[in-house]
Amino acid sequence: MASIKCFSASCWTILVARRISPSTFTPSLLGSVPNSQVITKALLHQDVTAPSCSVDQKKNFLLKTPKGTHDVDPKQMTIREKVFSIILKSFKRHGAEGIDTPVFELKETLTGKYGEDSKLIYDLKDQGGEQLSLRYDLTVPFARYLAMNKISHIKRYQISKVYRRDNPGRGRYREFYQCDFDIAGHYDPLLPDAECLKIMYEILSELELGGFLIKVNDRRLLYGILATCGVPDDKFRTVSTVIDKMDKISWDKVRREMIEEKDLSPEIVDRLGEYIRLNGGLAVLEHLCNDSLVSQNTMAMEALSDLKLLHSYLEIFGVADKVTFDLGLARGLDYYTGVIYEAVLLRGPEEPHNVPDNDTDKIAGFGSIAAGGRYDDLVGMFDSKGRKVPCVGISIGIERILSMAERKAEESFKNIRTTETQVLVASAQPHYLEERMRLITALWSSGIKAEMLHKKNPKLLSQLQYCEKTGIPLVAIIGEQELRDGVVKLRDVTTREEVNIPREDLIKEIQKRTS
C-alpha cells in the first residue's frame, strides 16, 4: 500500500473515474491534473525532487570539446586513415608485430621516467583500490610489457592514444595518437638505430609534406661535453632540459636561464654554447674528435665513434643526406641513454645539412614531427633482477603531420572522398525497392562496396546527384526493361556513358572499372 499513498487526491479522482489501474496508466492521461508533472514522475518511479533542465539552463550550457581535444570529421578521418596506412605499411615492411597496452597504468609504473615532464602526467581518482595514471607515452608501458612477460627480443609497433596534462597551444593536444616502432634485444651496435632512422625517412618521404631534416645526437656525447665544460654531474639532467628548449627560444634566453636559474657561471655557459650550437654533417664529428677538450672525455669519444658508424650505415640506407648532427638536441625524457634524434620540417627549399643557429627561419614552426632514441636501461627498472633489454625506437608525431596533410589537401582544392563506395544501386522508375535490395545484396555478398538511397521511390536525378556529391564513380540502374532483358544499366558518373551489362557479368565489370 506504500505506493498507493504517493498519489494525490486529484490523481486518484482521475484514475477511479476512468477505471484505470495505477499499473496501466499513461502519462498523457494526467495532462489535465494539477501538478501533473510531479504525479507523472511519481508514477514513473522518478525522483520528484530532481531538478528538470530548463530552457535557460540549456541556453547557458556551453557545448564544446574539452580543451586540448578535438572531434574528427569525415574528411579529416579520410586523411587520417591514409596517413595511418602509410605509417603502418612501413612498420610492417620492417617486420614489426603489433601490441596494445592499457590506456592507464599503475602510477608507480610511470613515476620517475620523464624528468620534469612528469608534472604533465594525468592522475586518476582512486576508485578501484589502485593509484592509476593515464599513459604519457607508449614507451614506458612497452618497457613494462617486456619486463612483465620476460620478452628479450621483439620488433613491435603500436598506434594508440596518449595523454598529457598540458596547457596546449596551437597544434598541440592533451589527447593524441602516437605511432611507435621499437626494436628490443641484444644486437650488434647501431644496426637497430640505423633501421629506425630509415623507417623515419621512409614515412616522411612517403607522406610528401615537403623538405625535412633529421637531427641526431647522442646523450653520452652531450653529457661528455657538459663534463668537459665544467657542468657539475648533479646538474646534467636539469641543464639538458634547458638545452632542449633551443629549438623554441633563442640562445640568449637559454644562456640567461642557465646562469640565473641553474646557477652556472657565465664562463661555463659560454664554453658550453660553443659546442651545443654546432650542427652539420660528418665534418662536425671529425671536428669534435680533434677537439683537445672533448678528446679527453671517454664517454664523448665512445659516442662519436658510434655516431660515425651510424653515419656509414645511414649512407648505405640512403638516409645520410637528410641527417644533421646537432649537439643542441637533448630530448628531455630521462630514459634515453644513447643515440637520440628528431625530425623537423623545413620552410623553404630542401637543405641537405646545415641549419645554422642564426638561420632558424628555415625550420618550420611545428616543432618535431617524429622523434626517438635508444633507451637501454628502462626495461631493467621493471625487472625484479634488474635484467636489461636494450631498446631503440621512434615515435611519429601524428597530430602535427595530420595538420600539415589537411592544410595541403585544402590548398589542392581537390574534393576528398570520405567513402569507398564503388557503385550506387538505383532505379529509374517507382516501385522497384525490392529489386534494388536484391541486387545490392548480391553485390555486398561479392565484396562490392555499394549503396542505395533509403527511399522507396527516389527520383533518378536525386540518385545521380548523390553520386556526384559523394564521388561514387558508378550507378547500377534497374527498371522494367532491364529486368525483362536480364541486364543492369551501368552508368559512368563522370562521362555519363551508359552500357547494358548482363546481370551475371556485373560484378566483374564493376571490379574492372574501380580497381
List, in sequence order, every beta strand (DSSP E) within 251-382.
279-280, 323-326, 339-345, 370-374
Domain C-terminal end among 375, 407, 439: 375
Sheet hosting strand 323-326, strand order edge to edge: 97-98, 154-163, 175-184, 391-396, 370-374, 339-345, 212-218, 323-326, 279-280
Q: What is the pLDDT of residues 85-104, one digit of tens each?
A: 999 999 999 999 999 999 99
Determine what percent of the chain is predicted with pLDDT higher than 90: 68
Measure the CA–CA gap between 305 and 27, rounded to whole angstroms. 83
Cβ atoms of residues 241 and 235 within 8 Å = no
DSSP one-letter string for 107-139: HHHHTTSSGGGGGGPPBPP--SSS-EEE-S-SH
The per-residue pLDDT for 52 is: 58
User: From residue 189, how far is each of 194, 331, 337, 348, 377 by CA, in Å?
Assistant: 10, 21, 13, 35, 16
**Is the residue at 277 inside a domain?**
yes
List, in sequence order, every beta strand (DSSP E) within 14-169.
97-98, 104-106, 132-134, 154-163
Torsion angle of the four alpha carbons 203, 207, 211, 216, in this order, in degrees rounded to the nearest 10? -20
Per the annotation, does 139 bind a ligand?
yes
Q: What is the pLDDT of residues 425-476, one digit of tens each?
A: 999 999 999 999 999 999 999 999 999 999 999 999 999 999 999 999 999 9
Q: Do residues 458 and 410 both lie within one domain? A: no
Cβ atoms of residues 348 and 229 within 8 Å = no
Q: What is the pLDDT of residues 356-388, one digit of tens each?
A: 433 444 554 567 899 999 999 999 999 988 899
Q: Do residues 220 and 263 both lie within one domain? A: yes
Q: Do residues 371 and 478 both lie within one domain? A: no
Predicted confidence (pLDDT) at residue 14 exceeds the cutoff of 50: no
The per-residue pLDDT for 115 is: 78
The per-residue pLDDT for 38 is: 44
**Is the residue at 198 inside a domain?**
no
Q: Do residues 16 and 83 both lie within one domain? A: no
The per-residue pLDDT for 225 is: 96
Q: Do residues 411 and 442 both lie within one domain? A: no
- Phi/psi at 390 (5° precision): -60, 140
For residues 350 and 221, the model is more confident at 221
Domain C-terminal end among 342, 375, 408: 375
Predicted confidence (pLDDT) at residue 27 exceeds the cutoff of 60: no
- Phi/psi at 403 (5° precision): -60, -45
Task: Return the CATH number at 267.
Answer: 3.30.930.10
Q: Mean of the pLDDT values across residues 477-495? A: 96
> Which 3 state secondary structure label does DSSP give 322?
helix
Per the annotation, does 174 bind a ligand?
no
Predicted confidence (pLDDT) at residue 49 exceeds the cutoff of 70: no
Cβ atoms of residues 115 and 333 within 8 Å = yes
Question: Comparing C-alpha atoms, which of 232, 240, 241 is closest to residue 264?
Answer: 232
**Is the residue at 428 inside a domain?**
yes
Per the annotation, does 46 bind a ligand?
no
The per-residue pLDDT for 362 is: 52
Domain C-terminal end among 15, 32, 60: 60
The per-residue pLDDT for 57 is: 63
Q: Do residues 353 and 403 both lie within one domain? A: no
Predicted confidence (pLDDT) at residue 138 exceeds the cutoff of 80: yes
Q: Do residues 370 and 405 both lie within one domain? A: no
Return the amino acid letter for 47: D
Return the amino acid letter for 249: I
Q: Do residues 170 and 228 both lie within one domain? A: no
- Return the bridge partners of 161, or none: 177
User: Can you list the pairs that 184-187 forms with residues at least 24 positions away whose Cβ atoms lie under 8 Å?
Assistant: 184/146, 184/151, 184/152, 184/153, 184/154, 184/155, 184/156, 184/379, 184/389, 184/390, 184/391, 185/152, 185/153, 185/154, 185/389, 185/390, 186/152, 186/153, 186/389, 186/390, 187/390
C-alpha grid cell for residue 64? 564544446
Return the amino acid letter for 358: N
Q: Do residues 255 and 360 both lie within one domain? A: yes
**Is the residue at 384 inside a domain?**
no
**Is the residue at 196 inside a domain?**
no
If you average pLDDT over every residue of the chain, what do you get? 86
The per-residue pLDDT for 426 is: 97
Q: What's the total number of domains in the chain?
A: 4
Measure the CA–CA gap between 506 and 511, rounded to whole angstroms. 9
Per the annotation, does 182 bind a ligand?
yes
Task: Return the CATH number at 474.
Answer: 3.40.50.800
Q: Do residues 56 and 76 both lie within one domain? A: no
| DSSP conformational letter for 383 | S
Domain residue limits at 476: 423-514
Measure the CA–CA gap between 4 and 405, rounded to whole angstroms. 65
**Is the residue at 176 inside a domain?**
yes
The per-residue pLDDT for 40 is: 45
Cβ atoms of residues 179 and 84 within 8 Å = yes
Q: Do residues 352 and 406 both lie within one domain? A: no
Per the annotation, does 69 bind a ligand?
no
Q: What is the pLDDT of residues 142-190, one digit of tens each?
A: 999 999 999 999 999 999 999 999 887 666 789 999 999 999 999 999 9
Per the annotation, does 164 bind a ligand?
yes
The per-residue pLDDT for 347 is: 72
Predicted confidence (pLDDT) at residue 191 exceeds the cutoff of 80: yes
**Is the residue at 294 inside a domain?**
yes
* Interaxial angle between packed helices 266-276 and 251-260, expressed in degrees from 0 to 180 and rounded to the nearest 10: 140
The per-residue pLDDT for 366 is: 60
The per-residue pLDDT for 81 is: 94
C-alpha grid cell for residue 406? 589537411
* Interaxial angle between packed helices 506-514 and 433-445, expressed in degrees from 0 to 180 and rounded to the nearest 10: 60
pTM above 0.85, yes or no: no
Q: Mean of the pLDDT values across residues 29-53? A: 48
The per-residue pLDDT for 170 is: 65
Q: Mean of the pLDDT values across residues 314-330? A: 96
| DSSP conformational letter for 98 | E
**Is the residue at 112 inside a domain?**
yes
Q: What is the pLDDT of residues 250-269, one digit of tens each?
A: 999 999 999 999 999 999 99
The per-residue pLDDT for 54 is: 62
Q: Do residues 142 and 85 both lie within one domain? A: yes
Per the annotation, does 336 bind a ligand?
yes
